[in-house]
Amino acid sequence: MGVQVGGFGTPYEWVFLDGAIVSSAEAAVSVHAHALSYGTGTFEGIRAWWNPDHEQLYLLEATAHYARLHRSAAILGLPPPRPVAELVDATVALLRHNDVRTDAYVRPLLVQAGEALPVRMHDVRTRLSIAVTPVHGDYIDSRGVRCVVSTWRRAPDVCTPNRAKVTGSYPGPALAKTEAVRQGFDEAIMLTTDGYVAEATTSNIVMRVGEEWVTPPGTDDILEGITRDQVMCLLHEQTGRSVTNRRVHRSELYTSDEILLCGTAAVVVPVVEVDGRPVGDGKPGEVTVWVNRAIREIARRDDPRHSDWTTPVHDTGDDT
């Protein structure tokens, strides 16, 4: 059977909205909402993984994601959302209410929903919603992708705060993605304004040069991903060496031995080609394949390591 790519299903009916579970129709935002015009908000993406053998759904790194939502709100000057633990509990309750028993994607969204026209970050009503969508297949082909370096650059932190996951910061990555696809590639790699490797459109980059694994630093205009942290942790456990955070030249992409993309939606994806040049031998790297499998097994608790990364959703009588 082939791998289904881009497989998001129809969103579930029930959503969390400012403390209550309501229907999707009740959660609709006004066409006059500030965030709709100006992108003034922040969001997260959290994966939930179904294990049919356990008959259990596991939230992956929910606490870390909601902690980042709090940091993003602080950067944007938005009122802090509910405490992290309450947000995790609300998400569990929402997944139970929708009786989710398949892989799913959770989308918390904190936006300025007030009907205001002036451009500002103050004195506009905010709202917090959480929605759930089933996931069928892979967001990006986990068997390997062909990438092109985009003509679109990653916006610098002096323009858009990259440590915040801002709703209005995605037109650049969207343009880069479309440019890549229209040129016959699967994904785009974006550079900083001064020409160093930043990240792909919605995922971080980690690469192997000889025996060293490296990744662009947070100061090179990346969103420091939670999956990136998982990858670095597992690589350290596997190799005994820490992943090096340093600036990466574009030309290093052409001479690297392995490149992987990682993110909540993508999980871990091997890059097999950049700008028409094969990465390594042009096949998915062995370590990349191992990391991808390890994260998925940990997410479903088929691997007992890092059980603290996951939160069981359904009441099965065993919360261990």
Task: Give the active site residues.
Answer: 165
Nearest Cα to Cα of residue 101 among 51, 31, 174: 51
Helical residues (DSSP H) of 191-285, grouped into ranges: 226-239, 250-255
> Rounded CA gap, 238 and 246, in Å?
21
- Measured CA to CA, the distance from residue 231 to residue 215 in angstroms comes to 11
Report how far residue 147's alpha carbon sits from residue 168's, in angstroms, rounded to the nearest whole number: 24
Q: Quick one: DSSP state of residue 184?
A: T
Q: Distance (Å, rounded) from C-alpha 265 to C-alpha 263?
A: 6
Nearest alpha-carbon partner for 129 in 21, 282, 262: 21
Residue whose tokens read 């020409």 = 195
Give the integer Cα–Cα distance in Å for 82 and 93.
15
- From the CB of residue 20, how many other CB atoms can be counted at a distance below 10 Å? 10
Q: What distance in Å separates the CA atoms of residue 87 and residue 32, rounded to the nearest whole number?
A: 27
Contacts of 155 (CB under 8 A, 6+ apart): 162, 169, 172, 221
Determine the Cα–Cα distance for residues 134 and 100; give it in Å rounded to an integer.
8
